[in-house]
Amino acid sequence: MSVERYQRIRKLLTTRQPSLTVCLEQVHKPHNVSAVLRSCDAVGINRIHGVWDQKTKIRKGTAMGSEHWVKTDMHTSIGDAVSVLKQQNMQVLVTHLSDDSVDFREIDYTQPTAIILGQEKHGATEEAISLADKNIVIPMVGMVQSLNVSVAAAVVLYEAQRQREVAGMYAIQQLSEEECQRVLFEGGFPVLSNVCKSKGLAYPRIDDGGNIVADTTWWQKMQTTAKAMRQFEQEVNNEIEYEKSHRGNR
């Protein structure tokens, strides 16, 4: 990995917000899932939660590569998902219009926060609503009283981003170094990362120059072929060129 790429990934990691996340409950349209991921990446979310059919796919064109930088933790039920979130001491919000709903801008997003976004047609389930700490609503004055789920996610997330930026939360690295090392290896050496996963090998450490720090035994276990290395180099070059050509659209 080049020093430039290492520094770019490191800069990204310093702004990640592990105490902010979303939970997608049965959001089934791939372009919506991908759009939400893209917004999450844009505001510094590194991990989201999902409760949906395994057939749901991420559209790479819509996600713009953000699926590589925002991990998804899958849950079998909304109850399981909320349990995990509350174990992390997060306030759990759900986008839902009700008599006790509050304006989404009244929430303190500098606190650990998870936002549940419900299915496109019917919204959040009754179980999700009952498990959430608060219902939030985006005020609207038009004839239509709901936004597309990906648009709603972006609106709420950018309010959270605004509050956290004012509070200086983007100026201090919040991710653990262990998590940073995972992202550095997977983002800087995607082919080698896949080999590690297939062989059950631990990731090596990445130094400040973007180099792999590993002993001879690790390299022998990898048994990386010349073809795999050429594929890796091509993937990195393609990603760099893709990022350059789309940088103005982000």
**Residue position matching structure tokens 């022998």:** 220
What pLDDT, in 10s, does the model give residues 202-212?
A: 999 999 998 99
Q: Are strands 205-206 and 212-213 parallel, antiparallel or unpaired?
A: antiparallel
* pLDDT at residue 1 greater than cutoff 70: yes
Q: Output the CA angle 55-155-35, nearest 5 degrees.
A: 30
User: What is the rounded average pLDDT of the residues 173-181?
Assistant: 91
SS3 state of residue 226: helix
Q: What residues contact residue 43 under an 8 Å CB cut-off, 6+ apart?
A: 17, 20, 157, 158, 160, 161
User: What is the rounded average pLDDT of the residues 96-103?
Assistant: 84
What pairs with residue 136 in β-bridges? 95, 102
95 known member of a binding site:
yes
Phi, psi of 24 (to 5 degrees): -95, 115
116 known member of a binding site:
no
Q: What residues contact residue 173 under an 8 Å CB cut-off, 6+ apart?
A: 13, 14, 16, 180
pLDDT at 60: 43
Write out the two tokens for 14: 């310093």
15 known member of a binding site:
no
Confidence of residue 249 (pLDDT cuts 50, 70, 90): low
Specify the pTM.
0.78
- Ordered structural domains, the chain, with CATH: 17-166 (3.40.1280.10), 177-249 (no CATH)
The number of CA neighbours under 13 Å toward the Cβ of 94 is 24
pLDDT at 91: 96
